[in-house]
Chains A and B, each alone.
Chain A
C-alpha cells in the first residue's frame, strides 16, 4: 500500500505584484475554473502521482471582523499557496516536480518576496512547506495508478457487456466466468493493466502504529487533568458562546459571482476558505486540540471512503497560519457547493462546529457542537464569505467521483473472488 502525502508551499507575495501574479495564474487555465492540464507553466498531467493541486492567493476579505471584539485589525501579508496531494514520499515527489516543471515554478514564485533567480528552488519549496493540522484522504492507499487502471478496467468491462447482448440471458455464474475470462485475455494482450499494490513502506507503518497507539495513550495520560479542567472549560466556553459575535451577512454579489464562475465545470469542485481564529488562547488551544483529535480519526478511522457520513470528499486539509491565529481549509469534493454545504449541515454539523466555531463570526454554537451549522442560511453565507477564489485547480480524474473509484475497486476485487455466494455475486454484477 502506498500512502498519500501532501505539500503546501506558502510564501508572501511581493508588494504590489498580486494582480500580475493573478494574471500569470489565469494563463494556466483554458477558461476560468478549467485548468489546462498540460499548461506550460506547471503541466500537472505530467506528474503521474499527483491527485489534486491548486494555487490560490490567500487574501482574506474578513480581516476587519476582529474589530467586533474591539481589537484592532491585524494586517497580514498576501500569501501565495501552492497545494498538492500525491502518492508516495514528500521528498521524491517534490524532487520529481522540480525536475519537470522548474522553469514554470520559478516564474510563479518569482512573484514572492524572498525568491530570487538564484534561489535553490527545491530547498526553497521545502523551507516554505507548511504541514496541515489535519489531513483527510478519502481512501488511504488508493494511488493514481490504481484509480487510472481500475477506471479503465470498468470501462472495458462495460463495453464488453454492451457489445455482448447474449450476456443478458446467461446465468450469473456464466456471466462471471465470461467477464473474468475477458479481463484475463485483455490483461495478456496488454490492454488492461492491474498492477498489484506496492508493499507499505516500513517507516510509514512504524510511525502510523506509534500514532495509532500514542494518541490514545497521551489522551489517557491527560484524562485526569482534562477531567479536572472540564468544569472550567465549560464555564469558559459558555461565557464565550453567549457573547461571541455572529458575522454572517449576505455576501457581496460580485464575490459570489466570481466564486460561481469557477465552479461546476467538472463533477467535482474545489473549496478554499480562510478566516481568523477567535482572539485569545482559549479558542486557539481548543481548535489545535480538536484538529489534533480529528486528525487521529481521519488517519485511523475515517480512511475508507467516508468522513463520518460524507462520501464526497476526496482530499481535505486544515492548515494553521500566522502562529495559529488564522486557519486555511482546502478541500476537493464531488457535486456542487450547495450539496456539499447541505452535507455539512445535515450529516456532519457536530464535527464541523467543533472546529469552525472557533473562527470569528461563525453562527452561534451551544456546547461547542450543537446549533452552529444548523442555522442553515447563516452558515451558508459564512462559508461563502470566507471562501477564496481558487486561481488554479487541477484534478487528475475529472468525471470520476469517490463512489466511482470505490465501485471500480469493488469490481476489481470481485474478479479475484470466484467463490462468492449467490447474493454476493449478484451484488457484484450490479456494480456493472
Chain B
C-alpha cells in the first residue's frame, strides 16, 4: 500500500554510517557567490542511499543551515515551513538553557556556530584511507573557490571504532522501518528498536502516524516541479521528503582529565579505574552491556547485534548493575508506552488510569520510541589510551567527537533527549547529578549539588562519586537540513 522508498533520492548518510570510509572531513562554508554555489551544487557528486555492488570508495553529503538556504535563494514563504528550532538555530538563548550549553560550553565561546559564526553549508567528505585529499580536490571542482568562503574544516580521525575515552562507539542505533511495515497505532507494550521512517526522514509517517511539518510548496513556486508531491497533501510539492535534519555538535573530550579523575577514585588500580568508567558509560569498554540479555528477541535488533543490544532495564529495576544515571541509560531508557506488566487488559487499564504504579520510580520516564536519534558522529584528535592518559607527559592534542545525529523533529528527538534525559539533574527521580560524561556541572537554582555520580548497590547505600569535573565542553554546533537529492536539484535551480 505504501509507496516504496526511493533510495536514489536519499542522502547516503541516512542509511549508512560510511564506516568503511575511514577518512572524513567536514567543511563549514559560507556562500560567497550564490550563483557559483548553485553551480557547484548542480554538479556535486552527492552520495545517495542506494546499495552499490561493492563498497564505495568515497562519499559526499551536503547540508544547509537556515542562512545557507536563504543565501541560495529559498524564498521566505518556503523557509517558514521548516521547524522553529531549525529556523531559530541552536544558540537561541532559551535553547542554550535547555541544552545545557552554559558556562564554558556557552555559544559565545564556541569556535564556530556561535553568534555571527553560523555557517551556511556543511560539506561532508568521506573516503577510504589515503584517498581523502584526492576526493576533496575532485569534489571542489571549478566553482568551489568562487562559491564559498571556508570558515573551518573539521578534520576527523580514525580511532578504530572507539571514541576518545576509549569506549566502543555507535554500538546502539535505531533500526529504520525502510519497508514501511511498522504499525504505530495503539499503545506499544514492549520496547522496540524498529522505528517508523518518519522519525528520521521527512515526508513519511512518524511514530504518531503523522507527517512531521516541513515546507510544502505550491506547484506555482519556481522550480518546484523538481520536487515530488507530498503523500499527505497530494497537490503540494514536498521539499522535505527524503530529507531530514542534521544536528552537529563539536564536543571536546578531556581524555586526560577523565582517566586521571577515575584513576584517583580507583587508587590507581587500572581494573577498578576501567570498571568505574564502565559504570558511568553503562557498557563495558568493548561495548558489551552490563546487563544480562533478554531471553526474548527485541523487535528491530538483528540477531547479529543481540549480544550487545538485546536488553532492557526491566531486569535491573533497582539499577544495581547499570546505574540510573549511566550515560546509555539516560540517552536511551529502552522502555515502552506503558510500564512493564501491562499485558492483560485489566493491568493495561489500571496503568492507563495511573493506578498500577506502586514503587517510587514506576512509570516516570517518557516512552522511548518518540525520542530516538540516529547517530553519525566521528572522532577527532589523536588517540590516547587510558594508560597514556594517566601517565605523566604532555598531551598536545585536542580530543573529541563531532556528534552528529539525524532526526525529523529536532525538538522532540535531539533536544528532548539532551534536555530531559541527558543533562537533567532530575532524570528518573534522581537529584544531585546529570550525565556523568556530558554533564556541564553548572549550578541549578535550588540544587546545591549537581556533580555526583551515584551507583545503587545491592546492599547498603549508593556508592557515590562526588565532585565530578566537567569532562566534555561544547566547541561548536548548528542545526542543518540534509535535503534529498531532488531537493538539492531544486536548490541548484533557484535564482
Where the two chains meet, the residues of A that have a C-beta atom closer than 8 Å to any C-beta of B are 155, 158, 161-162, 167-172, 175, 250, 253, 256-257, 260-261, 263-267, 302, 306-311, 334-336, 338-339, 342-343, 345-346, 350, 374-377, 397-401, 403-404, 406-407, 410, 426-427, 429-432
Contact = CB atoms under 8 A, between A and B. Distances in A.
B416 A266 contact: no
Contacts of B3: none
A266 B353 contact: no
Given A377-B213, A399-B444, A338 B357 contact: no
Given A264-B97, A338-B419, 9 more contacts: A161-B464, A172-B460, A257-B88, A257-B92, A260-B95, A310-B354, A339-B416, A339-B419, A343-B366
Interface in B75-134: 80, 84, 87-88, 92-95, 97-98
A424 to B, nearest CB: 11
B206 to A, nearest CB: 8
A92 B208 CA distance: 49
Interface stretch (B218-226, B425-433, B468-476): B425-433
Contacts of A253: 84, 87-88
B84 A338 contact: no
B96 to A, nearest CB: 10
Nearest to A309: B354
B447 interface: yes
Contacts of A339: 366, 416, 419-420
Interface string B399-418: 00000000000011001100
A397 B446 contact: yes
A130 B328 CA distance: 48
A168 B353 CA distance: 40
Contacts of A158: 432, 449
B354 A335 contact: no
Contacts of A308: 352-354
B266 to A, nearest CB: 15
B426 A168 contact: no
11 contacts: A250-B80, A261-B93, A266-B445, A308-B354, A335-B426, A338-B416, A339-B416, A397-B446, A398-B445, A401-B431, A404-B426
A346 B367 contact: yes
B466 interface: yes
B30 interface: no
Given A168-B461, A264-B94, A410-B360, A250 B424 contact: no
Contacts of A175: 460-461
Interface of B: 80, 84, 87-88, 92-95, 97-98, 206, 208, 210, 212-213, 318, 337, 351-354, 357, 359-360, 363-364, 366-367, 370, 411-412, 415-416, 419-420, 424-426, 429, 431-432, 444-449, 456, 458-464, 466
B354 A260 contact: no
A302 B446 contact: no
Contact of B446 (A167, A400, A432): A400
Contact of A267 (B206, B352, B426, B466): B426
B364 A267 contact: no
Nearest to B351: A309
A377 B449 CA distance: 36
A12 B186 CA distance: 46
A396 B105 CA distance: 29
Contacts of B445: 265-267, 398-399
Contact of A429 (B80, B367, B432, B460): B460
A253 B80 CA distance: 10
B444 A267 contact: yes
Closest 10 CB pairs of A and B: A399-B446, A308-B354, A398-B446, A260-B94, A403-B429, A399-B447, A398-B445, A309-B354, A339-B420, A264-B97
Contact of A338 (B208, B352, B415, B460): B415
A430 B462 contact: yes
Nearest to A334: B426
A404 B460 CA distance: 20
A171 B360 contact: no
Given A170-B460, A375-B210, A307 B354 contact: yes
A264 B456 contact: no
Nearest to A162: B466
Contacts of A399: 444-447
B424 A346 contact: no
A155 B367 CA distance: 31
B82 to A, nearest CB: 10
Contacts of A256: 84
Given A250-B213, A339-B420, A403-B429, A261 B444 contact: no
Contact of A377 (B97, B210, B366): B210
A432 B352 CA distance: 29
B366 A430 contact: no
A267 B92 contact: no
Which residue of B93, B98, B351, B370 has the most chain A CB atoms within 10 A of its CB atom?
A: B98
A401 B466 CA distance: 21
Contacts of A430: 318, 456, 461-462
B72 to A, nearest CB: 21
Which residue of A171, A308, A345, A376 has the most chain B CB atoms within 10 A of its CB atom?
A: A376
Contact of B352 (A172, A309, A374): A309
Nearest to A174: B460
A307 B206 CA distance: 28
Contacts of A410: 360
A338 B354 contact: no
A338 B432 CA distance: 23
A335 B446 contact: no
B372 to A, nearest CB: 13
B210 A168 contact: no
A170 B457 CA distance: 12
Contacts of A403: 360, 364, 426, 429
Contacts of A335: 420, 424, 426
Contacts of B212: 377
Contacts of B208: 345, 374-376
A260 B360 contact: no
A362 to B, nearest CB: 16
A151 to B, nearest CB: 9
Nearest to B364: A311
A309 B363 contact: yes
Contacts of A311: 363-364
A266 B424 CA distance: 11
Nearest to B466: A162
B403 to A, nearest CB: 20
B426 A338 contact: no
Contacts of B425: 267
A400 B461 CA distance: 22
A265 B419 CA distance: 13
A421 to B, nearest CB: 14
A346 B97 contact: no
A426 B462 CA distance: 10
B477 to A, nearest CB: 18
A432 B213 contact: no
